[in-house]
């Protein structure tokens, strides 16, 4: 085989190997782009982790922090809030014995649903949709 035949075969081989990619790229069938099977929920942790620690804190959930705790009135449900206090921006902590989120800076208190229980905060904590699916804790922003 001479040099010209070799280069011809290499060129034909390159075209042939890229043909399937070109066919797929030019095909008229479009697959529907769908949301993840969790419906926009993102995994944050596990039930075992929540039970062990009593809470799960993710400092970067879609650009903001999220704190997940079990509802003290119904252990089968969970609550997810942005733990940034609406008064001065300190991070609230979950106090299970008080059944409240408490701001360590100025003493503001928030209920499990984020509503203000005690001043000086006047706005509720931002809340997220949260659910337990299998052993996973899933949270949805918005």
Give the Å distances, CA to CA, from 35 to 38, 59, 95, 140: 8, 24, 36, 12
Residue % of the chain over a pLDDT of 70: 80
Region 80-105: mean pLDDT is 93
Query: Does the pLDDT at position 51 exceed 60?
Result: yes
Query: SS3 for 75?
Result: strand
DSSP per-residue codes, 11-36: HHHHHHHHHHHHHHHH-S--PPP---
| pLDDT confidence tier of residue 35, bands split at 50, 70 and 90 | very low
61-98 burial code (b ≥16 CB/10 A, e <16): beeeebbbbbeeeeeeebbbbbbbbbbeeebbebeeee
Nearest Cα to Cα of residue 112 among 63, 55, 45, 31: 55
Per the model's pLDDT, the better-predicted residue between 50 and 75 turns out to be 50
Query: Does the pLDDT at position 73 exceed 50?
Result: yes
Query: Does the pLDDT at position 12 exceed 50?
Result: yes
Q: Is the dihedral of CA 126, 87, 60, 104 positive or negative?
A: negative
18: exposed, middle or buried (Cβ count in 10 Å: 0-12, 13-18, 19+)? exposed
Query: Does the pLDDT at position 81 exceed 50?
Result: yes
Region 37-49: mean pLDDT is 83
Instruction: Report the alpha-carbon distance of residue 42 to residue 40 in Å, rounded.
Output: 6
| pLDDT confidence tier of residue 142, bands split at 50, 70 and 90 | low
Domains of the chain, earliest start first = 42-140 (2.102.10.10)
Instruction: Report the alpha-carbon distance of residue 97 to residue 72 in Å, rounded.
Output: 9
């Amino acid at each position: 085989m001479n040099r010209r035949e070799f280069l011809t075969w290499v060129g034909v081989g390159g075209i042939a190997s890229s043909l399937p990619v070109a066919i797929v790229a030019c095909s008229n069938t479009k697959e529907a782009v769908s949301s993840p099977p969790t419906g926009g929920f993102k995994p944050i942790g596990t039930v075992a982790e929540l039970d062990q620690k009593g809470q799960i804190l993710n400092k970067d959930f879609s650009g903001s922090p999220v704190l997940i705790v079990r509802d003290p009135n119904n252990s089968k449900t969970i609550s997810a809030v942005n733990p940034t206090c609406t008064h001065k921006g300190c991070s609230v902590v979950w106090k299970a014995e008080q059944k409240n989120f408490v701001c360590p800076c100025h003493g503001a208190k928030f209920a499990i649903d984020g509503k203000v229980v005690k001043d000086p905060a006047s706005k509720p904590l931002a809340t997220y949709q949260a659910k337990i699916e299998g052993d996973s804790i899933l949270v949805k922003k918005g």
